[in-house]
Amino acid sequence: MGCYRLGVILAALACLWALPRDQRSIDPARVLAEAKSVLPSVVSVGDASEGFYPLLDSEGNPAGWATSTFPQAENVQGYSGLSELLVVFDTSRRVRGVRFLTSEDTDGHVRKIRDAADFWEQWTGKPESSLGDDPDPMIVSGATLTSEAMARGLAARFGAMGMDQWFPEPLKPADVAKWFPSADRIGDGGEAGSYMVFDGDESLGTVLRSSHMGVSARGFNGISDVIVVLSTGGEKVLGIALLGSRDNEPYVGDVGDEVKYADGFAGKSVDEVIAEDSEASPSLFTSGASLTNYAVVESVQEMLRRHRAERVPEAFPWKSSLAIVWIALGGFCGVSKWGRRLKARIAYAVVSVAAGIGLGWMVSQDQLLGWGANGFDVGLVLPLLVLTAVALVVPAFTGKNVYCNRICPHGAAQTLAGQLVKKRFALPPKIHSIMVRVPWLTLTVIWVLAFLASGIPLAYFEPFESWSSGFVAFVPASIFTIGLVAAFFLPQAYCHYGCPTGALLRFLTHAPGRWTARDSVAGVLVVAAVVYSSLK
């Protein structure tokens, strides 16, 4: 029965996943409005090329560019949904502003991020070439998964993911014959986009390739694939070359010519090129200053910076480790005799409330359905994935609802509240019999809204986002407050009379080993979901 019930939930999520997504397209009027807020001289927006909208001034001259973080950021899931940002560049391809466009993520998290000026300012002034590699973006406390996903999505847009697909051809000895005529083999350089050039067993030098390093090397209107050739040991620059370009005519010739005459790079040390101020003294190109010149110099500098950078090992993920300890302890308390003792229950409830306040991670319908509809990024949400797996799988296979009985911070807070007031109340039987249906009704409404892609924030049906983002959104904050105040007098009031996630988890453990009317209803609903998703 446990397998059937878990299977029903997973099948319903799979149907949600199978629904076709709306074709996303950005409204040029919105681009213009947002771009104007950053660059007031912009009066119109030209046709997009590779997702870049030229921003034009009153004379029709370029005043900058704007681009959405989609489609590349469509693979970067936050807490429960995707987010799209707009990046506005000036004519020297430096970021002038990043603006929020849309988000399917938890509403309270999104509001918190929109109010965090520092978050949006972190990219201002950076060259486009450097946006694809930010190992340590600033994130917003209380909305960490959502803000980290936005920052990762922006990095993905500028090359951290997928740029190599635009230039899939492998590097060949002929590409570097100008510097290494005897080269007969190209080997791996140990880092993404870094290659070793060989003549037999002898190493001749190193080549860095922008598209495979995730460095956005852009000409006037499209991405270019630039290589930097270094001497053995990687200390001296021998030259640069253009392997390919997605720029459109006549600009592709512009890019090619600039790179062809870039003799200023030859013979310079890596440090000298990195230190060159491309705007103040564009001496690296014999053809002088130009838009392409700046873009290529910055791309080359970015490639050399990354080549130079000592990769610091990732910091110890203490938050994730604490979360895993908290979940494991909750699982143990939930299934062991020791965990049933009152003192152990109270002690663990305190731990859970602390974890809820500190981490803000909990299972909710918004999160579960968001994952169903959009998938999730395992690296980003690993502890939340473990928490969700424990909440769903343990009850299905043991009949014990360890998440509600022990781990859930909101349930734990109600347990502690109930300990503080000795006098307890109970609802009159008639009202009780009506109220216990509320969680099931709410659960049904939430899932129907998710299938209809209603756009109504599903986080509004539960109090959980208040744990991570605070009292930002009125409805979840109200449910949080009323539920918790009620718990002082009615034991676990919200759990019994309000919580749709609790209802879903109770579905897994009700009437162990016995088929019930709920199983029949769930089966019918899943068949309806299969039919609906196949008709869409």
Q: At what angle do helices 318-335 and 342-359 cross, to 10 degrees?
A: 150
Helices (H), 261-399: 270-275, 291-308, 318-335, 342-359, 365-374, 378-398
Instruction: Say which DSSP state 141 is in.
Output: T
Please, which residue, 26 or 387, has the CB nearer to ligand SF4? 387
> Are β-strands 237-245 and 223-231 bridged in parallel, bridged antiparallel, or unpaired?
antiparallel
Q: Are 393 and 2 in contact (CB under 8 A)?
A: no
Radius of gyration of the chain (CA): 28
Q: Residue 188: what are its φ and ψ, rounded to 5°?
A: -75, 135
Q: How far is CA 66 from the centre of its chain?
A: 21
**73 binds ligand SF4 per the rule CB under 6 A:** no
Cα torsion angle, 10, 15, 18, 21, sign: negative
What's the closest the beta carbon of residue 410 comes to ligand SF4, in angstroms? 4
d(CA 304, CA 235): 10
349 counts as binding ligand SF4 under rule CB under 6 A: no
Please report how close the Cβ of residue 1 comes to ligand SF4 at its closest, in angstroms. Answer: 20
Q: How far is the CB of 348 from ligand SF4 (least distance, A)?
A: 13
Minimum CB separation from ligand SF4 for residue 122, in Å? 35
User: Residues with Cβ < 8 Å from 456, sequence gap 6 or more?
Assistant: 449
> Least distance to ligand SF4 from the beta carbon of 404, Å?
3
**3-state SS class at 127:** strand
Write the binding mask 411 to 450 for ligand SF4: x where contact by CB under 6 A, - elsewhere. x---------------------------------------
Q: Candidates 64, 255, 502, 526: give the one binding ligand SF4 (CB under 6 A).
A: 502
Check binding of 220 to ligand SF4 (CB under 6 A).
Answer: no
Stretch binding ligand SF4 (CB under 6 A), from 228-236, 301-309, 428-436, 495-503: 495-503
Contacts with ligand SF4 by CB under 6 A: the residue count is: 9
Residue with smaller CB distance to ligand SF4, 238 or 351 = 351
Q: Cα torsion for 168, 169, 171, 173, to the nearest 10°?
A: 180
Which has the closest alpha carbon to 122: 155, 79, 76, 82? Answer: 155
Minimum Å distance from CB 501 to ligand SF4? 4
Distance from C-alpha of 301 to C-alpha of 439, rounded to nearest angstrom: 58
Region binding ligand SF4 by CB under 6 A among candidate stretches 61-69, 230-238, 347-355, 497-505: 497-505
Residue (122 or 501) nearer to ligand SF4, CB? 501
Q: What x-and-dash track marks residues 223-252 binding ligand SF4 by CB under 6 A?
A: ------------------------------
Q: How far is the CB of 467 from ligand SF4 (least distance, A)?
A: 11
With respect to ligand SF4, which residue has the nearer C-beta, 39 or 499?
Answer: 499
Q: Taking the complex as a whole, how short is the minimal distance between the CB of residue 63 and ligand SF4, in angstroms?
A: 52
Cβ-closest position to ligand SF4: 502
Two tokens, residue 143: 């909305």
94 binds ligand SF4 (CB under 6 A): no
Q: Which is nearer to ligand SF4, 446 or 495 (CB)?
A: 495
Asked if 501 interacts with ligand SF4 (CB under 6 A), we say yes
Residue given tokens 């579960």 in the structure block: 368
Identify residues 355-414 at the interface with ligand SF4 (CB under 6 A). Answer: 404, 408, 410-411
493 binds ligand SF4 (CB under 6 A): no
Judged by CB under 6 A, the chain residues 179 through 218 that form the site for ligand SF4 are none
Count how many residues are written for the chain. Answer: 536
| Residue 287 burial class via C-beta count within 10 angstroms: exposed 0-12, middle 13-18, buried 19 and up | middle
Residue ranges binding ligand SF4 (CB under 6 A): 404, 408, 410-411, 494-495, 499, 501-502
